[in-house]
Amino acid sequence: MVKRRAPGSGALAGAILALMFAMSSAQAAPKSYVVTIENMQFSPPTLTVKRGERVQWINKDLFPHTVTAGGTHGFDSRSIAANASWSYAPAKPGSYPYGCTFHPTMHGTLTVQ
């Protein structure tokens, strides 16, 4: 006896596999975080992320700021104009204190796991 497939059953199986793949890809997408620069402060002042997750700093002050970490593995946004942003996806684990080179009283820490 020969079993016959219902018409369209192969297409249905393909659609289910495609949906499962899309769902697993969406779950694997890296997270993103926002640090607001406002009133001469980074908010939140400390943030912990995993390698590859994106951090975006948004300048809501009326004047430019930088996001500058020291050391050999540091990062530097250069000048971020008012109402502009800069993003960074860290690749190496560690703790990175950073500040604004224009305003030395501004400090934050990015911890990468």
- pLDDT single digits (tens) 29-40: 889 999 999 999
Largest Cα span, the chain: 82
Q: Domain containing 46 — which CATH number?
A: 2.60.40.420
pTM of the model: 0.75
pLDDT at residue 75, rounded to an integer:
96
pLDDT at residue 70, rounded to an integer:
84
Indicate whether 5 belongs to any domain. Answer: no
User: What angle (nearest 5°) sits at the alpha carbon of residue 70, between those of residues 74 and 30?
Assistant: 30
User: Structural domain tally of the chain?
Assistant: 1
Indicate whether 43 belongs to any domain. Answer: yes
Indicate whether 44 belongs to any domain. Answer: yes
pLDDT at residue 81, rounded to an integer:
98
Hey, what long-range contacts does 92-96 have (CB within 8 A, 24 or more apart)? 92/51, 93/51, 96/69, 96/71
Indicate whether 18 belongs to any domain. Answer: no
Ranges of residues in the chain with a pLDDT under 70 are: 1-28, 72-73
Indicate whether 90 belongs to any domain. Answer: yes
pLDDT at residue 4, rounded to an integer:
55
Indicate whether 45 belongs to any domain. Answer: yes
Tell me the residue range of the domain where 85 lies.
Answer: 32-112
Indicate whether 36 belongs to any domain. Answer: yes
Indicate whether 15 belongs to any domain. Answer: no
